[in-house]
Structure 1
Amino acid sequence: MSAGIFMALQEKLIACGTSLTIFGMVLRFIAGPASTAIGAVAVGLHRDVFHVAIIQAALPQSITTFIFAKEYGLHADVLSSAVIFGTIVSLPVMIAYYAVMESVH
């Protein structure tokens, strides 16, 4: 079965509940870029390379994580929610990060 068909056949868009989804998105889009910023400062990244590292940390999860979860039976329904919802949310978040970094630059 392909990944797209499995994701389309999910009963709910958010399989793990609203609070857990919000917690996951906060970790993904705030804690991830924040920890990347700390690491980038620690290794001495500056300007454009620093900005690229932050924006890359805010990118949505890839479909590959879902495929591995499906293959090994590790909550594929939850990861399909993360992939779908994370992709939808990532565009405005990345635009906001880009705008903030351009204004700071």
Structure 2
Amino acid sequence: MAQQDKLIPCGPSLTFLGLVLKFVLDPIAMTIGSIAVGLRGDVVRVAIIQAAVPQSITSFMFAKEYGLHPDVLSTAVIIGMLISVPLIILFYVGLQGL
């Protein structure tokens, strides 16, 4: 990822789509799935927060190795790392009321 010319090589629209998928739809899908299988309480909260954790470097390495849009995934990794900590804290605080 450090070899790229730009911080966001895939453009703003794909970046925004990736952020929405990761930080909005992933927690929603995890909530629905957790409730569907009967999870309750702290287990659901942990599962939702885990869904908001950013992509790993390993997923970028596989994408680069197999030529599967590594520029998009590198953007997801970089931007995800930058904004994930505040968002995860907000998820944690917001889920305290459940």
- Range class of TM-score, shorter chain: over 0.9
Runs of 4+ in 1 over 6 A off after TM superposition: none
Note the C-alpha offset of 1:16. Answer: 1.0
Note the C-alpha offset of 1:27. Answer: 0.8
Q: Give the TM-score taking structure 2 as reference length.
A: 0.95
Structure 1: 5+ residue stretches without partners: 1-6
Question: In 1, are the aligned partners of 2:14 and 2:72 still within 8 Å (CA)?
Answer: no
- Please say if 1:71 is aligned against 2:65: yes
Structure 2: 5+ residue stretches without partners: none
Tell me the matched-pair count. Answer: 98
Of 50-59 and 9-18, deviating more is 9-18
- Please say if 1:85 is aligned against 2:79: yes
CA RMSD of the aligned region, Å? 0.9
1:12-70 superposed Cα distances (whole Å, 9 cap, x missing partner):
11111112111110110000000000000101111110100000000000111101011
Give the helix-richer structure, 1 or 2: 1
Q: How does 1:1-105 map to 2 (within 5 A)?
A: 7-102=1-96, 104-105=97-98
Note the C-alpha offset of 1:74. Answer: 1.5
Q: Give the TM-score taking structure 1 as reference length.
A: 0.89
- The share of aligned pairs that are identical, in percent, is 58
Question: In 1, are the aligned partners of 2:27 and 2:49 still within 8 Å (CA)?
Answer: yes
